Amino acid sequence: MTWSTLFSVVLLMIMAKARGEDPVGPTLPWGIHLAYGADPATTMTVGWSTREPVPNTVVLYGLDSGGDAQLDQVATGNATTFQPPGTALPQDLHLVHLTELEPGTKYAYVVCSDESGTNASDVFHFTTAFEGSSSSTEWTPTLAIFGDMGISSNAQDTLVWLLKDLNEGTIDFIAHIGDHG
């Protein structure tokens, strides 16, 4: 999915929500995000939400060697129901911990509600940190941190520049601190 497509999808979701429609669907994953575990070289936590409960909390993942992803590993996790204050719509928050990963390695993954891939997300990617990077003074990642993106043409320009920097390898992480639109 290109950044312009992603921007269009996000804009359509915002418009649907404003009309009172469910832009995602009750059992499809949304808000997919990553967090390094205790050892960033060998662990990763994958989180996402669904509007309604699903049978299981599953991540299919595997090595990604140049775009040819092998989703041959399965990890399961847990879901917790959460109702944001002031809303009538609860959601299930899903967490799966991936362990025993290889340091400095690119992985592909999808989140879904069972091992056959029901309600699966798109394929996403992450790279584990290099061995010893969490304690090394030699590892100096480059971060892009931004917030309050909005929905104007400036937002689309921001996404284009972030994607360019990410693809060129000039930034290692992107953190969006909130207020998407």
DSSP string, 37-76: -SSTTT-EEEEEEESS--S--EEEEEEEETTEE---EEEE
β-partners of residue 96 are: 46
DSSP category for residue 86: T
What is the rounded CA–CA span in Å between residue 113 and residue 22? 19
Rounded to 5 degrees, what are φ and ψ at 61?
A: -150, 170
Specify whether 146 is located in the same domain as 87. no
Q: Is the pLDDT of residue 121 over 80?
A: yes
Specify whether 59 is located in the same domain as 39. yes
Specify whether 157 is located in the same domain as 126. no
pLDDT at 3: 43
CB-based contact 44:36 (threshold 8 Å): yes
pLDDT at 20: 53
pLDDT at 29: 92
Specify whether 154 is located in the same domain as 132. no
> Phi/psi class of residue 132: alpha, beta or left (left: φ > 0; alpha: ψ in -120 to 50)?
left
Q: Which residue has the higher pLDDT, 115 or 157?
A: 115
CATH number at residue 54: 2.60.40.380
Tokens standing for residue 33: 């995000």
Domain that holds residue 166: 141-181
Q: What is the pTM of this model?
A: 0.69
The overall average pLDDT reported for the chain is 79
The mean pLDDT of 1-12, rounded to a whole number, is 45
What is the rounded CA–CA span in Å between residue 100 and residue 121? 23
What is the rounded CA–CA span in Å between residue 34 and residue 97? 10
The mean pLDDT of 70-99, rounded to a whole number, is 90
pLDDT tier for residue 87 given thresholds of 50, 70 and 90: confident
pLDDT 10s digits, 159-170: 788 878 877 878
Specify whether 122 is located in the same domain as 58. yes
Q: Which residue has the higher pLDDT, 158 or 101?
A: 101
Helix (H) or strand (E) holding 144: strand 143-146
pLDDT tier for residue 151 given thresholds of 50, 70 and 90: low
Specify whether 99 is located in the same domain as 122. yes
Residue 21 belongs to some domain of the structure: no
Specify whether 31 is located in the same domain as 104. yes
How many domains does the chain fold into?
A: 2
Place of tokens 């069972």: 114
Residue 106 belongs to some domain of the structure: yes
Residue 73 belongs to some domain of the structure: yes
Specify whether 95 is located in the same domain as 145. no
The mean pLDDT of 42-56, rounded to a whole number, is 92
Q: Of 15-29, 89-103, 121-135, where does the model show the most confidence?
A: 89-103
CB-based contact 88:73 (threshold 8 Å): no
